[in-house]
């Protein structure tokens, strides 16, 4: 009788342990049986795309951020709508570079050839985001997997959910905290601006119409301001883009933070991380210590990858990343 009770008790403990993990859990080894080569396949596809254009790197990383901040990390940003009313069609997403989408689509095609109908587009985007960081010389980290693809993608649900270039520290903290991301996470993730570019229209006000008392933002390094004015003269084509990091724009490093200390943050939302006393010490730490930045960035990327994920029976595994299965 005692042995039976012990076995029953052990069974209950195991059952509660399994239940406690829940459907919302991601796992690094999620595809270890169903598609063990998935990360290798994605890495190959990303590397091939990178060999064709460097834009692959910042475009894919930015795509991951924009996906996770709206509806969660569920590949909803990849959906194409015949009515031009999907997430990617919103004003905030029109500047997303096509190379990011193409990277994920090609990686998905390669994965489908080996493991059809098994790996979500959301997971492929998460893996690809890690891979481009590594390709640019940044730190590697293990990606948690098990996301399913979302069933909602609406342009109308984007506004108000993405950080804006004019945000102050409180606004940045508010929008990141909605996703359980701390101030430290936010500052570390902002370091992604060590790569990529922004359009003149996103910061022209800092050069030509900052305030009634100063046409140029006084927090801008004067030499850097002249450099930006040269690249973005008044009334320039708003599609003109400028590197966010004027020093090492194609390397994932901590120079971004050194730029902020020197008044060379292109966007107000970048420079405020240094000018606001509440975040300044972290910026100085990251500027002085690549190791501290890399550690905080990888931790924050893993946390970002858990935002709003669909798992278990929620969502679907799209066979085409640009369309819901029911629309194919």
Instruction: State how far the Cα of 151 lies from the Cα of 328, in Å rounded to an integer.
Output: 13
Alpha-carbon distance values, 157 to 94, 133, 152 (Å): 14, 28, 10
Neighbours of 162 (CB within 10 A): 15
The two structure tokens encoding residue 218: 């006084």
Contact assessment for residue 250 and residue 263, using Cβ atoms and an 8 Å cutoff? no
Classify residue 144 by its DSSP letter.
P
Q: Which residues are catalytic?
A: 66
Query: How many angstroms separate the CA atoms of 54 and 46, rounded?
Result: 11
What the block records as the tokens of 68 is 């996770």
HEC per residue, 239-281:
CCEEECCCCCCCCCCCHHHHHHHCCCCCCHHHHHHHHCHHHHH
Which of the 8 DSSP states describes residue 76?
G
CA dihedral (256, 254, 196, 46) in degrees, to 10, reads: -170
Half-sphere exposure of 190 (CA within 13 A, CB side): 35
C-alpha distance across the termini of the chain, in Å: 58
Query: What H or E segment, with its residue span, contains residue 199?
Result: strand 197-199
Q: What angle do helix axes 290-304 and 277-288 make, rounded to 10 degrees?
A: 120
**74 sits in which H/E element:** none
Tokens representing 118?
A: 């098994």
List of residues 6+ apart from 201 with CB closer than 8 A: 238
């Amino acid at each position: 009788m005692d042995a039976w009770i012990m076995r029953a008790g052990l069974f209950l403990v195991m059952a509660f342990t399994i239940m406690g993990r829940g459907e919302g859990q991601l796992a690094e080894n999620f595809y270890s049986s169903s598609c063990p080569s998935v990360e290798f396949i994605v890495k190959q596809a990303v590397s091939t795309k990178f060999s064709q254009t460097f834009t692959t790197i910042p475009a894919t990383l930015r795509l991951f951020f924009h996906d996770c901040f709206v509806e969660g990390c569920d590949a909803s940003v990849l959906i194409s709508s015949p009515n031009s009313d999907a997430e990617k069609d919103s004003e905030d997403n029109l500047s997303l570079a096509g190379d990011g989408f193409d990277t994920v689509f090609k990686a998905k095609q390669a994965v489908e050839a080996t493991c059809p109908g098994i790996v979500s587009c959301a997971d492929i985007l998460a893996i690809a985001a890690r891979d481009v960081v590594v390709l640019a010389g940044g730190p590697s980290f293990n990606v948690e997997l098990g996301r399913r693809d979302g069933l909602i993608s609406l342009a109308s649900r984007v506004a108000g959910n993405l950080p804006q270039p004019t945000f102050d520290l409180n606004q940045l903290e508010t929008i990141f905290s909605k996703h359980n991301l701390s101030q430290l996470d936010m500052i570390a993730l902002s370091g992604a601006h060590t790569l990529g570019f922004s359009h003149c229209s996103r910061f022209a006000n800092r050069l030509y119409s900052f305030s009634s008392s100063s046409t140029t933002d006084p927090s801008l390094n004067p030499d850097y301001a002249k450099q930006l004015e040269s690249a973005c003269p008044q009334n320039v084509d708003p599609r003109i883009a400028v590197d966010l990091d004027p020093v090492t724009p194609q390397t994932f490093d901590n120079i971004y933070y050194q730029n902020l200390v020197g008044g060379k943050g292109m966007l107000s939302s970048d420079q405020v991380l240094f000018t606001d006393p509440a975040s300044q010490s972290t910026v100085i730490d990251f500027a002085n210590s690549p190791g501290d930045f890399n550690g905080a960035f990888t931790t924050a990327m893993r946390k970002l990858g858990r935002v709003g994920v669909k798992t278990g029976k929620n969502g679907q595994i799209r066979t085409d990343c640009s369309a819901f299965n029911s629309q194919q």
